[in-house]
Structure 1
């Protein structure tokens, strides 16, 4: 049995939870999220 997870929804969920817990970190969380999504978009073979 193979389980396939999409990384983008998991990152969005983690970012949303972190923003709720630590609103002052919003800029950092959004920046890291955008960088990760950009890297995944440039290298589609890195998808988990």
Structure 2
């Protein structure tokens, strides 16, 4: 049995949970998410 996890949905879930727990982190979480997704796509990193 193999488990295939994509990075973007996992980051989205973690960011959503963090925002629910601590709403003041919204700006930092969104910025970090966008930077991470942008770097992953620019560098063509595949984590599957």
Whether TM exceeds 0.5 here: the answer is yes
Q: Does 1:22 align with 2:28?
A: no
Alignment of 1:4-43 (within 5 A): 4-43=4-43
Q: Where in structure 1 are there 5+ consecutive unaligned residues?
A: none
TM-score, length-scaled by structure 2: 0.86
How far residue 43 of structure 1 moved from its aligned partner, in angstroms, is 1.4
TM-score, length-scaled by structure 1: 0.86
Q: How many residues align?
A: 47
Q: Between Structure 1 and Structure 2, which shows a larger proportion of helix residues?
A: 1
Q: Where in structure 2 are there 5+ consecutive unaligned residues?
A: none
